[in-house]
Amino acid sequence: MRYIPRLLLIVGAISLAGCDTGPKGSIGFSLPDGDITRGKAAYIEFQCNACHVNEQVPQLDTGAPATISVTLGGETARIKSYGELVTSVINPSHKVARRGSDDMADEGGTSKMVSYNDIMTVSQLIDLVAFVQSSYELSPYSHTNYPVYWLPEPAQKD
C-alpha cells in the first residue's frame, strides 16, 4: 500500500512531462538569436514599460496611477525559456491557472496584458525575447548541507 503515493508521484511527473509532446506541444520549438539592443527599442516602442518594471528601462509615466506592475528581469532561480517568454507575449492568458493575483486578469481569466499579435513583427518578438531574457540574472545556487548518516553494518553471519 505504501508504494501507491510514490506511484502516483511518478505517474504525475510523467503526465506533466507529457505536456510538451503531441501536436500542441513545444517539441521542435527553437528561435534564432535575437538582438538585445533592438529588443530594448521594441520594448520601449510597444510601451511594455507601462505595466512592467525593468531595471534597464525607465518606467513609462502614463499619467494614471499604475494598477499593473509586473517585474521582468532581475535575480531568478531559473531563467525563463524562449518558449515561456514567447508564450507570455503572444498568449498571456495561458498562465491563467498559475496566476496568484486577481488583478492580472479579468473575471473570465483573460490576462490584462494587451495583445500585440496583430502589430508586432516576428523579428521584433525574437528581439524582445532576447532582451527580456538577458535582463534576468541567475541567483547564486546555495548548497544545502545534509548531515551524513551511517547505516550500521549488517551483522556478520558465522
Q: Which residues bind ligand HEC (CB under 6 A)?
A: 43, 46-48, 50-52, 68, 70, 72, 85, 88-89, 92, 95, 99, 104-105, 111-114, 116, 128, 132
The cell for 2 is 505504501
Please report how close the Cβ of residue 110 comes to ligand HEC at its closest, in angstroms: 9
Q: Which three cell numbers stand for residue 75?
A: 535575480
Rounded to a whole number of angstroms, the minimum distance from the CB of residue 94 to ligand HEC is: 8
Comparison of 24 and 78: residue with beta carbon closer to ligand HEC? 78
Closest CA to 88 of 74, 77, 104, 101: 104
Pick 21 or 121: Cβ nearer ligand HEC: 121
Count of beta carbons in the 10 Å neighbourhood of residue 52? 19
Say how far residue 32 (Cα) sits from the centre of its chain.
19
Q: Which is nearer to ligand HEC, 34 or 43 (CB)?
A: 43
Nearer to ligand HEC, 33 or 153 (CB): 33
Task: List Cα–Cα distances, 43 to 23, 29, 124, in angstroms.
Answer: 31, 23, 9
Which residues are 137's β-sheet partners?
Answer: 75
Output the smallest distance, CB 69 to ligand HEC, in A: 9
